[in-house]
A and B are shown apart, each in its own frame.
Chain A
């Protein structure tokens, strides 16, 4: 596709349920980022991939969060045993260059609500 695609757009989960959020970056983009945006906040960095390598996962808030990009294209963010504080919009962004001084291209986000 022409842009970054994220699915699902909306997800409602019961507390304790596992969720998986998918990101299809722009074809050929090397860098892929995941951000979490809580209500009233700016996007907070979660993790960064360069091709299939996860170079930085320091922003993942707990070991319940896991991200992968096994073939250097599609990425999945998995949240295990969801908690209410995980409710947020999860944004995926990709960039053409390996070191992202180039602009980021964002998906529309996946809004997660944990009840």
Chain B
């Protein structure tokens, strides 16, 4: 059974503070890792698609890193804002087939 683990499960952060959380995945048969942001009552939206070991991607105040050899990815949010409150999902894509395995998500709450 292949597991994609996200930690922490839930996180409360003061507005203006920076934060980060982790996605761990199997280090073998890696093909791609996706990060999605899922706001309440909306559709999950892609943040990053990462394919290469050592990848670092940035979108505004949000960035992500990828280590495929040790099987983890970090998502960083700098200067948290209320609109960052959401569930952040990572998804691991295997090269054996087209299945994508999602983690359970990290629920981020930004406190005003």
- Decide: A56 near B44, CB < 8 A? Known: A40-B104, A100-B93: no
Chain A interface residues (CB < 8 Å from chain B): 3-4, 31, 33, 35, 40-45, 48, 50, 55-56, 58-59, 91, 93, 99-109
Confirm or deny: B59 has a beta carbon within 8 angstroms of a beta carbon on chain A. no
Overall SS of chain A's interface: loop
Does the CB pair B46–A35 fall under 8 Å?
no
Does the CB pair B46–A108 fall under 8 Å?
no
Does the CB pair A41–B100 fall under 8 Å?
no
Taking residues whose C-beta sits less than 8 angstroms from the other chain, chain B's interface range is 20 to 34
Q: How far is the CA of A103 from the CA of B6 in the complex (A)?
A: 19
Does the CB pair A56–B105 fall under 8 Å?
no
Q: How many A-B residue pairs have CB under 8 A?
A: 63
Q: How far is the CA of A13 from the CA of B4 in the complex (A)?
A: 32
In the complex, 27 of the A-B residue pairs with CB atoms within 8 angstroms, ordered by the A residue number, are A35-B102, A42-B89, A42-B102, A42-B104, A42-B105, A44-B102, A45-B100, A45-B102, A56-B98, A56-B99, A58-B99, A59-B99, A100-B93, A100-B100, A101-B31, A102-B49, A103-B34, A103-B46, A103-B49, A104-B34, A104-B36, A105-B43, A106-B43, A106-B45, A107-B43, A108-B43, A109-B43
Which residues does chain B contribute within 8 Å of A33, judged by CB atoms?
A: 100
Confirm or deny: B32 has a beta carbon within 8 angstroms of a beta carbon on chain A. yes
Confirm or deny: B83 has a beta carbon within 8 angstroms of a beta carbon on chain A. no
Q: How far is the CA of A41 from the CA of B49 in the complex (A)?
A: 22
Chain B 53-103 residues near chain A, CB threshold 8 A: 89, 91, 93, 97-103
Name A59's closest neighbour in chain B (CB-CB).
B99
Q: How far is the CA of A109 from the CA of B41 in the complex (A)?
A: 9
- Decide: A108 near B99, CB < 8 A? Known: A100-B93, A103-B46: no
Confirm or deny: B19 has a beta carbon within 8 angstroms of a beta carbon on chain A. no
